């Protein structure tokens, strides 16, 4: 049964909730959702949790509250990174995407282990569509791994999830599909 989860735009008042979700308890205490913010994949696996936490802190300090949090009651159970696509230089270069200030991107998902399989990621993606549209995006993209990928590599979301809510494949780059949905 799919539950209804409350989804909120990430903002300063939700920093503690973000940190509680991005914790070792949820097998997510290392990344802090900064993978697309570093300039290159070179050295990514050698970064420490503290380095990633400091980068996340600097992203927030400059006003980049780049996502949505899902809650089951007061408990944060899911995260979806969302924002203007072109702000993530590594993403646009790696996938060879032409600059377009009207395109937003859904780049990462995290669902707490105890909440998986309950519709959290679907609700986050639906909220991402609504949020991007309300904030003026003309198109929303996602970058799921091709089907058959290692389940542990699905942090950008499974392709089937995007297809379920109206995204269509517009290309591919390496192991990733580029999927898109018009919002106008």
Whether 76 contacts 17, CB under 8 Å: yes
**96-141 tens-digit pLDDT:** 999 999 999 999 999 999 999 999 999 999 999 999 999 999 999 9
Interatomic CA distance for residues 110 and 115, integer angstroms: 10
**20-50 tens-digit pLDDT:** 999 999 999 999 999 999 999 999 999 999 9
Per-residue pLDDT at 1 exceeds 60: no
Tokens standing for residue 162: 């995007």
Whether 40 contacts 88, CB under 8 Å: no
In the prediction, which pLDDT does 11 show?
98
Q: What is the mean pLDDT of the chain?
A: 93
Per-residue pLDDT at 161 exceeds 80: yes
Rg (CA), the chain: 15
Poorest-pLDDT segment among 16-25, 93-102, 137-146, 151-160: 151-160
**Could you tell me which of 111, 100, 51, 48 has the C-alpha nearest to residue 78?**
111
In the prediction, which pLDDT does 146 show?
78
Q: What is the pLDDT confidence band of residue 148, given thresholds at 50, 70 and 90?
A: low
pTM tops 0.85, yes or no = yes
**Could you tell me which of 105, 56, 120, 109 has the C-alpha nearest to residue 80?**
109
Interatomic CA distance for residues 142 and 99, integer angstroms: 15
Rounded mean pLDDT, 167-179? 91
* Sequence-ordered alpha helix ranges (H) in the chain: 15-21, 49-61, 89-94, 120-134, 159-164
Question: When comparing pLDDT for 2 and 9, which is higher?
Answer: 9
**H or E segment to which residue 111 belongs:** strand 103-111
Per-residue pLDDT at 2 exceeds 60: no
Domain 6-182, CATH homologous superfamily name and number: Gcn5-related N-acetyltransferase (GNAT) (3.40.630.30)
In the prediction, which pLDDT does 164 show?
96
Whether 15 contacts 9, CB under 8 Å: no
Interatomic CA distance for residues 108 and 118, integer angstroms: 18
Beta carbons within 8 Å of 38's beta carbon, 6+ residues apart: 44, 47, 55, 90
For the chain, give every domain's residue range.
6-182
């Amino acid at each position: 049964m799919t539950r209804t989860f409350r989804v909120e735009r990430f903002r300063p008042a939700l920093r503690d909730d973000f940190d509680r979700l991005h914790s070792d308890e949820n097998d997510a205490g290392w990344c802090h959702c900064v993978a697309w913010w570093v300039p290159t994949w070179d050295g990514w696996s050698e970064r420490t949790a503290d380095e990633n936490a400091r980068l996340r802190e600097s992203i927030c300090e400059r006003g980049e509250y780049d996502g949505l949090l899902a809650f089951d009651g007061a408990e944060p159970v899911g995260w979806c990174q969302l924002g203007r696509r072109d702000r993530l230089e590594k993403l646009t270069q790696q996938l060879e995407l032409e600059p377009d200030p009207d395109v937003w991107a859904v780049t990462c998902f995290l669902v707490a282990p105890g909440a998986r399989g309950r519709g959290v990621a679907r609700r986050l993606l639906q909220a991402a569509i609504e949020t991007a549209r309300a904030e003026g995006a003309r198109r929303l993209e996602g970058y799921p791994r091709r089907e058959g990928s290692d389940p542990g590599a699905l942090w950008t979301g499974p392709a089937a999830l995007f297809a379920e809510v109206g995204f269509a494949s517009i290309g591919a780059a390496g192991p990733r599909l580029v999927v898109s949905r018009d919002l106008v």
